[in-house]
Structure 1
Amino acid sequence: MALTSYSSVVAIALLFSLTSSSSADTHEKFVHCLYSYPLNSTISITEVVYTQTNSSYLSILDFSIQNPRFSNASSKPLVIVTPLVVSHIQATIICSQRHGMHIRIRSGGHDYEGLSYVAKVPFVVIDLINLREIKVQIENNTAWVQAGATLGELYYRISEKSTTLGFPGGVWPTVGTGGHFSGGGYGFLMRKYGLAADNVIDAQIIDVKGNLLDREAMGEDLFWAIRGGGGASFGVIVAWKIKLVPVPSIVTVFNVARTLEQNAAKVIHEWQLVANKLDEGLTIRVNLVRVNSSKNGNPTVLAIFESMYLGGVDQLIPLMQKSFPQLGLVKEDCIEMSWIDSVLYTAKCTRGQPLEALLHRNGNDLPFFKAKSDYVRDPIPDVGLQGLLRFFYEDEGQDAFIQFTPYGGKMNEISESEIPFPHRSGNIFHINHMVRWREEGDEAAQRYINWIRRLYSYMEPYVSKSPRAAYVNYRDLDIGVNSDGYTSYRQASIWGHKYFKNNFNRLVRVKTKVDPLNFFKNEQSIPSIKSKGKGRNTKVEILGAVNAFIK
C-alpha cells in the first residue's frame, strides 16, 4: 500500500476542481487550485508558490540554472513551486492535470538541455531545492537522501559519520541527486561498485494520482524503471535509499599531464588498451583540452590523466609499472588523502577549499555549453584520434573539453537489463564531448553548436553502432525528440534505443501502466503507447480516479 493514504484528500480536491469551467483554464486558476487544495500539513503552500509577478521569481528560477544558454529562454515557467512537504507536490500534480499545466521537475538544474526548467507549453516547475534532508544510518551502511540534495551535500553528510564509507556517484558536487540517480550516475568508484543507480535500494515517488509510494507500494517494475530510466517520466521522486560502500582510510590521487609534443597521443593509445582491464580499485580517466605550449606559445592539446586509487601510493606504483608503464607515473606525482578529500580534489570547483565547499549549491561564472556522449567498444585508431585532436585547433575548440571515462571492473559483472541503464560489458570507455563559450548571442551559440555537431559526425566510425549509444544524463536533443502532441513508440524509439537499448521496450510498458495518459512528459520522456492527443485527464477519467481512490 502507499506510504501515505491521501485518497479522501485527493478525491475532495479533484471534485472541487471539476466545479470550475474547463474552457477558461489559466495559470491563475491553477494557482487558485493550489491555494484551495486541502493539504495534510500545517505549512501553507502559499509560502512556496512563485508566479512571474512575484519579486523573488527570477532569483528562484535562475539560482539552479547550470547552463546559462537557457537563462534567457522565452519559455519560462508560469509558476514555480518549491515544496516543503509532500502534500505541496501532490497538490501541484493534481491541480496541473486539472488546469492544463505541464510539470517540469528540478533538483540540481544540470539537465544538459534545460528540460527541468524550459518548455514550449504552459508549465510549472517543481523545484525540489527545499527537500534535501539526508539521514545517514551507519549501523546498516545506508542513507535516505531527499531528491533535492546535491552530491556534495551527500558526500559531506557521509563524511560527518564515517571516514571509511562513501558512495559511487558523480564528481561535480552541485549535481542534484534526484536526476543523477534516476539516469544512472557514475564517478571514480564506478569500476569498483557500479553506478549510483546500482546502489539504490528503495525510493519514494509521487505518482500521477498523487500517491506517495515506496518500493513495496510501487512494485518492482516501477522501481526498476526509475533507477536509470529517468524518473521524471514516471512521477516526482521525493527520496532515495542508498547503500553506502566501503572505502579505505587512505586513497591516492594523481593528475599527470602530457602535451602532444610529449607523446600524449601515444600514451592515449596505450591507455585505450588497458583502461578497462586495470585493477577495479583504479580508475584513470583522460581529459583533453587545448592549451598554449610552454615552449613556443602555440596552441596544442593537453591530455590530463586523472586518477583515484583505492589504496596507498606504495601499492599503486608497482601496479602502474606493471599495467600502464607508458604513463611514467612516479611517487612524486601522487597524493595520499582520505576519500572525502579526494572528492574535493577531483571536483575542480572545490579544490583547495575547506570541506564545507561541498555544500555550495550553485556555480559561479558558468560558461554556455553544448554536450554529447558516445561509447567506445574498440580502440580508436591513431588516425581517428589525430583527426579528433585537430578539432581543438579550430576557433570554436579553444575551450572545448573531451573526457574519456574507462569501464570494466564491476560494470562487466552487471547485466544490461538489471536496471534501464544498459551500457555495461564490452565498452572500453565512455566519451563526454563538450564545447564551451562565453560569447553572447544566437549567432555565436549556433557556431559552437555546429562545431560539436561536426565533431560528433566525425566520430561516428569509431564509436558504438546499431545503435550509436548515448548516456541519458548527458541529454542531447539532437538524437531525437518527442512531438508536441502524441508521440508514437516508433518516433520515441529513435532516441530511446540510443539511451536504453532494448530496455526501452520495458520502460514503455512500465510508463503505459503507471501513467497511461502521459501526464509526465517532456521532449525526451518515455511515451505511453496508450496516450493520444494532449494526454490530459477528462472529467470522466478524473472521476474514475476518484472512485478508485475511495474504494
Structure 2
Amino acid sequence: MREIVSVLLLVLLVLASSDAHVTKPNAEKFLRCLRYRTSRVNPINEALYTHDNSTFVSSYVSYAKNKRFSNPNDTKLVAIVAAKHESHVQATVVCAKSNRIQIRIRSGGHDYEGLSYISSVPFVILDMHDLRSITIDVSRKQAWVDAGATMGELYTKIAEASKTLAFPAGVCPTLGAGGHISGGGYGNLMRKYGISVDHVVDARVVDANGKILTGATLGADLLWAIRGGGGASFGVIVSWKINLVDVPKTLTVFKVNKTLEQGATDVLYKWQLVSSKLPQELFLRAMPQLVIGAVPSQKSVAVRFYAQFLGSARRLMAIMNKSLPELGIKREDCYEMSWINTTLFWQNYPVGTPISVLLDRPSNPAGALFKSKSDYVKKPIPKEVMEKIWKIMLNFNNMFMQWNPYGGVMDKIPADATAFPHRKGNLFKIQYFALWGDANATNANLGLMKEIYNLMEPYVSSNPRAAFLNYRDIDVGSNPSGVTNVEEAKIYGEKYFLGNLKRLMEIKAKYDPKNFFRYEQSIPPVRVM
C-alpha cells in the first residue's frame, strides 16, 4: 500500500490543454472584442493590422529576421496587434483567449526559429516594438525598460544619463528587451556581472486573465521563472525593472585575426585552457569563421579574437602577455574607449561612428535565411577535432562560430538562482551560425549544420546535451502549435533548463493552468503531488 501511495505522489497531473476545443476560433469576434475592450483614450485601431491593411506585409516582415519562416500571407494569421499601450496587450490576451486564438509574442524579432511569428493554428501576433519607454534613475542605479525597447536604445539612454553605468546584455543593438532578457540575456559583461536576468528586480506582466502583475502581485516565483525561463510561456512581459552596474570611464577592446597558416588552431586550443580563468574584468571571445578569397572557390578558415576589458590598455597588455602570448597582441591593436563606444566596436563599426546608429530600427524585410545551434563545453576540444571542424566549415558559403568564455562570477551564481541554469562548470558556450540567400540551398546548409553538430557531440555537455534558449533551436525538440505533450516538452525543456524544469512547470501550472500561453517549445503546466 505504501508503495502505491508513493507512486501516486509522483504522478504528474498534466493540465496542458489539447487541440480539441468546444468552440472554433472566430476571427471576426476577436476583432470586435479588441475594439470593445479598448478605450477611446487609447484606441486600438492604429495598432491593429489585418490582411486588408496596405501596411500589413511591411509590419510583418520588419520584425521577421529569418527569411526561412517569413510568411505574411499565412491565412492562419488573424491579425497583428502592434500594441501602443498596456491596455492593448490586455485586450489582445482576453480576446484571443475567449475566441480560441493563440498568441505569438515578439519584441525585437530575433527568434531564430520564427516561433514568435508563425503557427499552424489560428493566431495573432502581439508585437511589442512600439512599447519602448525607458526611464533611468541614476541615483538608484536602476531603470525601467519596456519590452519593445532595443538594447541599442537602452544602452544609449544609460550613456546619456551616466558615463559609468551599464547593463549586462547582448552585443546586438536590435535585440528586443522582452525576449532577450527573459531568455537570459548573455553578453560581454557576464564574467564580471553575470547576465541580464541576474539584474532584474521587478517586471510588469500581463497574465492569462489579462491582469497586470507587478511588485507584490507578481510573486517571487513568477519573477524567478521569467528570468531565464522565457516570458512567452507565462504571460506577456510589458516592462522590466533592472539594476545597472558600474563600469570604469575607460575600457579597452581589441580584435585580432589568426589564420590557419598563422597557427589559429594552436592559439585556439590554448584559448580554451585560459579564457575562463582570466580576470573576470576580461571577456575574450574566439570566433572561427569562413573566409572567402578573391574568388568563391578560394575558402579558408580564420579565428577572430574579440576582447573587452574593464580597464586600461596597459593592464590588458600585461594580462595577455602572461596568459596568452601566442595571440601576439600589440599595443596598437588595443583601443581605449567609453563603454557606449564598445557597443559600436562589437558591431564592427569604424571608430568615430555616431552613437545614433544604435537607435536604428529594421526598415527592410529580412534578406537572409539562417540556422543557429548551441552547445556548452566543459573540457577542451582536441586539436584533431578542430581540424575536422574546419573541413566541414569549408563546405558552407557563409558560416561562423562564437566561442564565448565562461568563468568569473558565472562560476559563483547557483544554477537555481534564476531559471537560467547554465552556470558553473562550463569552459565556454558555442553558437553555430550559417547563412544563405537561396532557398534551394536550405537542405544542404541544414545538413552541414547537423554534420558539425554531430561531430561535436562527444566533446560537449551530455545527459542532457544542453542548449541556450535565446539561440532557439527546433531540433532539440518541439510540440505542434495546438498541442503540448508533456513528455516531448521534457525533452527540450531539460536541455534548455536542466534541473530547473520541474519548478518551471509547477509555476506554469499556478499562473496559467489552462495553458493559454503555449507555442512549439513552451513549458507545460504540470503539478507534482
Q: TM-score range by the shorter chain?
A: over 0.9
Distance between the aligned counterparts of 2:104 and 2:353, measured in 1? Answer: 34
Aligned match of 1:9: none
Distance between the aligned counterparts of 1:40 and 1:321, measured in 2? Answer: 64
Higher relative contact order (CA 8 A, sep 6+): 2
SS of residue paired to 1:143:
strand
Aligned match of 1:405: 404
Alpha-carbon deviations, 1:338-390, whole Å to 9, x = none? 11000011123687531000001227664210000000000001111111111
How much has 1:252 moved relative to structure 2? Answer: 0.5
Alpha-carbon deviations, 1:246-273, whole Å to 9, x = none? 1110100100100000000000000000
SS of residue paired to 1:79:
strand
Query: What pairs with 1:351-390 in structure 2 (closer than 5 Å)?
Result: 353-362=353-362, 366-390=367-391
Distance between the aligned counterparts of 1:255 and 1:189, measured in 2? Answer: 17
- The answer to whether 1:521 aligns with 2:522 is no
SS of residue paired to 2:218:
helix
Aligned match of 1:53: 52
The one-letter code matched in structure 2 to 1:115 is: L
The one-letter code matched in structure 2 to 1:97 is: K
Unpaired segments of 5 or more residues in structure 1?
1-21, 531-551
How much has 1:452 moved relative to structure 2? Answer: 0.5
Whether contact under 8 Å (1:284, 1:307) holds in the other structure is: yes
- The answer to whether 1:465 aligns with 2:462 is yes
- The answer to whether 1:456 aligns with 2:450 is no
Distance between the aligned counterparts of 1:130 and 1:232, measured in 2? Answer: 18
Change (3 A) 1:57 1:313: same
Whether contact under 8 Å (1:66, 1:363) holds in the other structure is: no
Aligned match of 2:192: 192
Aligned match of 2:62: 63
How much has 1:154 moved relative to structure 2? Answer: 0.3
Query: What pairs with 1:142-541 in structure 2 (closer than 5 Å)?
Result: 142-292=142-292, 298-348=298-348, 353-362=353-362, 366-394=367-395, 397-439=396-438, 441=439, 443-529=440-526
How much has 1:72 moved relative to structure 2? Answer: 3.4
How much has 1:46 moved relative to structure 2? Answer: 1.6
Distance between the aligned counterparts of 1:483 and 1:146, measured in 2? Answer: 30
Whether contact under 8 Å (1:250, 1:339) holds in the other structure is: yes
- The answer to whether 1:96 aligns with 2:96 is yes
Whether contact under 8 Å (1:350, 1:358) holds in the other structure is: no
How much has 1:216 moved relative to structure 2? Answer: 1.5
What's the Cα RMSD here? 1.8
Mean alpha-carbon deviation: is it higher for 218-227 or for 481-490? 481-490
Distance between the aligned counterparts of 1:114 and 1:351, measured in 2? Answer: 34
Alpha-carbon deviations, 1:25-56, whole Å to 9, x = none? 4211110111122x356111122111111111
Mean alpha-carbon deviation: is it higher for 320-329 or for 240-249? 320-329
Distance between the aligned counterparts of 1:490 and 1:210, measured in 2? Answer: 29
The one-letter code matched in structure 1 to 2:95 is: C
Distance between the aligned counterparts of 1:370 and 1:485, measured in 2? Answer: 24
Aligned match of 2:78: 78
Distance between the aligned counterparts of 1:477 and 1:350, measured in 2? Answer: 36
Structure (1/2) with the larger helix percentage? 1
Change (3 A) 1:85 1:489: same
Whether contact under 8 Å (1:384, 1:462) holds in the other structure is: no
SS of residue paired to 1:270:
helix
Change (3 A) 1:118 1:424: same
Whether contact under 8 Å (1:66, 1:110) holds in the other structure is: yes
- The answer to whether 1:28 aligns with 2:53 is no
How much has 1:529 moved relative to structure 2? Answer: 2.6
Distance between the aligned counterparts of 2:466 and 2:499, measured in 1? Answer: 12
Identity of aligned residues (%): 46
SS of residue paired to 2:468:
coil
Distance between the aligned counterparts of 1:353 and 1:360, measured in 2? Answer: 13
Change (3 A) 1:89 1:462: same
Distance between the aligned counterparts of 2:499 and 2:200, measured in 1? Answer: 22
Give the alignment's TM-score, normalised by structure 1: 0.89
The one-letter code matched in structure 1 to 2:419 is: P
How much has 1:297 moved relative to structure 2? Answer: 8.6
Distance between the aligned counterparts of 2:391 and 2:101, measured in 1? Answer: 47
Whether contact under 8 Å (1:350, 1:357) holds in the other structure is: no
Whether contact under 8 Å (1:267, 1:327) holds in the other structure is: yes
Alpha-carbon deviations, 1:443-485, whole Å to 9, x = none? 3212211111111111101111111000000010111002444
Whether contact under 8 Å (2:482, 2:519) holds in the other structure is: no
Whether contact under 8 Å (2:290, 2:302) holds in the other structure is: yes
Distance between the aligned counterparts of 1:41 and 1:142, measured in 2? Answer: 33
Change (3 A) 1:360 1:399: same
SS of residue paired to 1:450:
helix
Distance between the aligned counterparts of 1:114 and 1:295, measured in 2? Answer: 33
Distance between the aligned counterparts of 1:89 and 1:242, measured in 2? Answer: 22
Change (3 A) 1:328 1:512: same
SS of residue paired to 2:415:
coil
Distance between the aligned counterparts of 1:215 and 1:505, measured in 2? Answer: 24
Distance between the aligned counterparts of 1:417 and 1:340, measured in 2? Answer: 31
Change (3 A) 1:71 1:251: same
Unpaired segments of 5 or more residues in structure 2?
1-21
Aligned match of 2:43: 44
The one-letter code matched in structure 1 to 2:48 is: V
Distance between the aligned counterparts of 2:39 and 2:52, measured in 1? Answer: 28
How much has 1:24 moved relative to structure 2? Answer: 6.3
How much has 1:405 moved relative to structure 2? Answer: 0.2
Distance between the aligned counterparts of 2:363 and 2:388, measured in 1? Answer: 33
Give the alignment's TM-score, normalised by structure 2: 0.92
Change (3 A) 1:208 1:61: same
Distance between the aligned counterparts of 1:476 and 1:493, measured in 2? Answer: 15
How much has 1:299 moved relative to structure 2? Answer: 2.0
Distance between the aligned counterparts of 2:485 and 2:393, measured in 1? Answer: 39
The one-letter code matched in structure 1 to 2:34 is: L
SS of residue paired to 2:60:
helix
Mean alpha-carbon deviation: is it higher for 229-238 or for 26-35? 26-35
Whether contact under 8 Å (2:24, 2:100) holds in the other structure is: no
Distance between the aligned counterparts of 1:434 and 1:24, measured in 2? Answer: 40
